[in-house]
Amino acid sequence: MNILTEVKFTCRVSSVLNKEVKQYGKHFMFDTKADTSWSSDEGTPQWITVSLNDPLIISGFSFQFQGGFAGLKSEMIMYSDDGAQLHKEPFYPEDINSPQQFQVKDTAREKACSKIKFVFESSTDLFGRIIVYDLQLFN
């Protein structure tokens, strides 16, 4: 079950396509609508940061990208309440439209985190753009 539907959180992103927040803003990753998305602008790296109001143990996450605009060389970084890095691991999305689920390594599941950052060092798009229809976190 997606914990982002049950907890308070904030989100920041590296960029928004043409600064058109009303059309491509970060909030569209969480609205559960199939026809809306966050679209980054050109350039690398692109990133998404989710800050939780209360620390939680995260066991996994999922992304739904638009094919042709998926992250390639990607990593997930977890932080504690005081900003210390708790865990860092790569993940490898496919260039597909379907939702993709990723499990966090067992050692990281023992630590509650307050912030999760997803960094996309490169993209399947030649210009480095990322398009995300859905982002979910699981505990």
The predicted pLDDT at position 108 comes to: 82
Tens of pLDDT, residue by residue over 86-100, are 999 999 999 999 999
3, with CB counted inside 10 A (0-12, 13-18, 19+), is middle
Tens of pLDDT, residue by residue over 18-60, are 999 999 999 999 999 999 999 999 999 999 999 999 999 999 9
Mean pLDDT of the chain: 96
The predicted pLDDT at position 106 comes to: 85
Domains of the chain by start residue, with CATH: 3-138 (2.60.120.260)
Using the predicted structure, report yes or no on whether residue 9 has a pLDDT greater than 90: yes
